Amino acid sequence: MFKSKGFMNYQRKQLTPDLTPLIDVVFLLLIFFMVATTFDDMKGMKIDLPKSEVSEITEAVDKISILVTSNGELKIKIDRQKESSIVDIRKDELQEKIKNIIVLMENKRVAILADRGIDYGDVVDIMSDIKLAGAQAIDIETKGK
């Protein structure tokens, strides 16, 4: 019936593994870690927070933090949706600066991060200035034990 002309030369196709799914997974992991990573803006600041049994974290869209270092320097950390900035201030201008910032906030909460070596009276003075500036709530942040 059929006559064979001999062996035909077929070019064999090289089999290579498909790397597309692997690359997709790598990019998904990269995106996940980029989104899940938090950046700490306060690494250079030495503030020894007091310890507390209860340490509740509340997330706010806008957040103001008053940072008090061990030598009494005041800084305001302003967190907005995608940006954060830290500004040095003097004690006599604290109330006015907070008043200007708090007007723009929906959640009028202010956090205080004071070094454990700061006098109690200084923290009370700062809390008084914050309340007079129009804050509805004052949070004192601590670190867990």
CATH number, domain containing residue 107? 3.30.420.270
Residue 37 counted as domain residue: no
Contact between residue 52 and residue 142 where contact means Cβ atoms under 8 Å apart: yes
Q: Which of 33-37, 53-57, 77-81, 132-136 has the lowest mean pLDDT?
A: 53-57
- For the stretch 13-40, pLDDT in tens is 778 888 899 999 999 999 998 888 766 6
CA distances from 53 to 56, 59, 122, 145 (A): 10, 19, 23, 7
Average pLDDT over residues 125-143: 87
Residue 13 counted as domain residue: no
Residue 7, Ramachandran bin (φ over 0: left; ψ between -120 and 50: alpha; else beta)? beta
Closest CA to 140 of 131, 127, 128, 129: 127
pLDDT category at 61 given cuts 50, 70, 90 is: very low
What are 110's strand-pairing partners? 64, 138
Q: How many domains does the chain have?
A: 1
Find the domain containing 70 and state its range.
Answer: 51-144
pLDDT of residue 60: 43
Average pLDDT over residues 71-79: 86
